[in-house]
Chain A
Amino acid sequence: MALRPSVFETDLSTNFNTPAGRESFSQIRNTPLVRDSKNIRKADSITNVTPFLAYLTHYSKIYSTKDPHLRNLMIRLNEVTKKFGDFTAVNGLSLEIKAGEFFGFLGPNGAGKTTTIKMMTGLFTPTSGSIAINGFDIGRNPDEAKFSTGYIPDQPFLYEKLTGREFLYFSAGLYRMDHDAATASIAGLADLFEIGEWIDRRTEHYSQGMRQRIVIAAALLHNPKALIIDEPMVGLDPRSAHIVKKVLKQKSREGSAVFMSTHSLPVAEELCDRIGIIKNGVLVFEDSLNAFHDFKRRYDGKFESTFLELTK
């Protein structure tokens, strides 16, 4: 018996601080999958039940905490360091991003942005420190953490022998979405990103922008609570860029935490609530966009020159 994504979706998109959230939590707790021991035995213990029970245990812990900050925390990096041999790419990075917050991660080339993102998505293992997504440690509970995450990489590599539609179904399957939910979600996203015309062609013929749109759609399929994005606007035409910005902002308003690495200062200024600037693996600035505006006013009033000064 596969875990229906609808259960997950309810779970993932619920704010447990609200009465509705508490009601939703009790609904999840009373789902047949948990109550019926026969069903638990029938289900694949590794793929379905363990993450689900871990989810419930996790939420019961969060729900019982009195710290409202913890309840709302979606992404947490605690003293994260990544070394490649003698070279330290990221050095003692700590960050907290709340649900509904849009965080811009800036820095010059080679500052450690992509390395940080790769650690957050489980592609790299931190040398020290910990990363939690939606309260789940990416090292100890990778599957649970990844269920909450939608990742958009800087290079939109796709399985070239699959069509765009097949790739989207493939992505949905990886998040254990059932066929109907996947079909509905793909249809909606195909309309939203205007990919319907070429969705049935093999991805090896896609332009950079087409690939990027497919990758973004694939990241949003399972309605993630945390979006981790590396340079989302690369290769997008103005119209597509506009759609992507709108969608990301909308996701943030709906309660998803958005962590976006970008080189585009105007994009960061337009979308982000809070920004962090990393240089040589160390966070040199981290505050709200308003605080950054105050800071730049004290400097020369320009985002670009303030950024250049901070990363000099």
Chain B
Amino acid sequence: MDEILHILRFKSRSILMRSTEFNAANVVRTFGSIVVFGGFAIGAYYSSRVATDYLLDTARLGLFLLHRFMAMLLFVFFLSINVGNIIVSYATLYRSSEMEYFLTKPIPHTNLFLIKFLDNFFYSSTAFFLMAMAVLLGYGSHFHMPALFYIRTMFLTLMPFIFLSGCLAAIMLMVVMRFAESLGVRKLVLLLVIVYLGGLSLYFSMTNPVQLQAQVMEHFPHVDQYFGYLDPPVAKFLPNHWVAESLYWTMRGDESHALSYVVLLAGATIAVFVLMLWTAKRLFYASWLSSLNLRKTVEAPGGLLKAWSLTSRSRFEPQSTVLVKKEFWQFFREPSQWIHLTIIAVLIVTFISSVAQINLRQPLPFLQTISYMVVLLFNIFLIASIALRFVFPSISAEGMNFWKILSAPVDRRKLFWLKFTLYLAPILLTSEMLVIFSHHSIRNYPLLVQLASIIMLFASLALTALNLGSGSFFSTYREKDPIRVASSQSATLTFLLCIVYLTATVSCLFVPFNGYFAFILRAVPFDQSTVYFGVMLVCILSASLCAGSLALGLRALRRDF
């Protein structure tokens, strides 16, 4: 225990010294982080408050259904934390040079595991804690709950819930790493994706929210009473269910019932934590050694990929060819990159298939404008998130190996443009697919589809350039983990700029589009050129942001290495 505290003390001190260093860049980054996280927290608080008010006061859903829907959201939340922890834990437990260093010291492996687990857990779950607290405040304020409720729920219910998810993630990761050597890491990851998607689908088919709502509503207006007999038996064993039950009984004023679920959750969390330590004792070092062997197995590119091999002949200009191929292999051989890409691809497909089902048609012009702008904003927001995750770390990903390119006769502008083009192409493709699918229900307004297509084209250009330029400006070549780069304070600041850009885009488009919809739905006289003018403003704004960001990035690339 002493050595754990000793190491944690020095790690905290190092983090504290780094983050409290007073210079302009740090001040800007900290300010950016506060604004972004503060903005998200306020947004989460208001959304939660408005949703709770709406569901209970307007839709009159009743306490039981509200908490069952909360259980469903908590299930998704649990899985998100779980997947997030698996990805970050892989980098911190198996890939960090710090772990290699610690393993040479006379410290039990379980202690080392615990130190890195806590480091990783708090790193990857801080944002979740913040969001959970904000949502809890919004939810509790509807019921005018006292301060003690928030403290108790946060520390005795939500924190154990998040911690339980993190522990399960670590156990799964160790098991996967232990057996990846014999079974193949790609097969295991594919299996995990199938298990997660299958689990999600099974859960929702079992709980069947539509059927549940119909069954509960048969008892209207007595919808606050307990309908636990409608729950599927398996759901009662899930931690999300316990959290929802504890909140339900608290709101009903039955503290003893609520406490029983809190105790159940705490007991399960402690049990899983002990199981994780036991697994770590048995598997961690063995799985760490397996991960070394795993890295030694090189899959020679075959089939179509053979042409992409760096050792293959190419008809194209050699310098650009090797730079592109290097970028490709560096990306797809880095597990934290391709695993995250796979997950994001699944999410995009889910988003696209969901958005294609949404009927954007609304009877009132204002509502129509709101619904249209929300979908357009979501599309741009998704592109901004993808760019932040993959484009922002792309210059830092060159790492300390960058000396090879910088000392070779390679024009740095060429390298920069190559990266820009390489990342822009898939982002542009995704954004145009989003336009096509999200406009499915309003496809008979071709003007809207064309304008959205132009807006997304410029948004893709601006957001790719912004993330590349900013990533170049804030490059950290010593950081090996792209996820850490993408979640750094500099990345948060870049995301803040993306949100400012989004706000500016809405400001340019809202009034003209509202006029356009009023013309279509209510035949209100309207000058169509105002829509073109709004879109043109967005294009000019995007082009300026694109040019400025690229200039900044190029300038930063000329700095001393």
Contacts and interface: CB of A to CB of B under 8 A. Distances in A.
Interface in B410-431: 410-411, 414
Nearest to B330: A161
A162 B323 CA distance: 12
22 contacts: A2-B318, A47-B317, A121-B406, A123-B403, A123-B407, A123-B560, A123-B561, A124-B560, A125-B558, A146-B407, A151-B407, A157-B404, A161-B330, A165-B310, A166-B309, A166-B310, A170-B325, A173-B310, A173-B321, A174-B323, A200-B300, A202-B295
B561 A171 contact: no
A118 B561 contact: yes
B321 to A, nearest CB: 6
B310 A162 contact: yes
A222 B393 CA distance: 31
Interface string A33-76: 00000000000101110010000000000000000000000000
B302 to A, nearest CB: 14
Given A176-B319, A178-B318, A201 B298 contact: yes
Interface string A145-163: 0110101010101111111
- Could you say which interface size class chain B belongs to? 35 or more
B310 A170 contact: yes
A2 B320 CA distance: 11
A162 B326 contact: yes
Contacts of A179: 313-314, 318
Contact of B401 (A142, A147, A159, A163): A159
A171 B318 contact: no
A125 B399 contact: no
B17 to A, nearest CB: 20
A204 interface: yes
B319 A174 contact: yes
A155 B478 CA distance: 13
Contacts of B330: 159, 161-162
B295 A204 contact: yes
A170 B406 contact: no
A296 to B, nearest CB: 34
Given A174-B319, A176-B319, A153 B295 contact: no
B411 A157 contact: no
Contacts of A2: 317-318
Interface of B: 292, 295-296, 298, 300, 309-311, 313-314, 317-323, 325-326, 329-330, 333-334, 399-401, 403-411, 414, 558, 560-561
Contact of A161 (B319, B322, B334, B403): B334
A142 B414 CA distance: 14
A174 B408 contact: yes
B405 A174 contact: yes
Nearest to B325: A170
B341 to A, nearest CB: 15
Contacts of A210: none
B411 A46 contact: yes
A142 to B, nearest CB: 7
Nearest to A44: B317
A166 B408 contact: no
A204 B334 CA distance: 12
A163 B298 contact: yes
A92 interface: no
Contacts of A201: 296, 298
A143 B409 contact: yes
B560 A175 contact: no
A146 B403 CA distance: 12
A144 B409 contact: yes
A157 B400 CA distance: 6
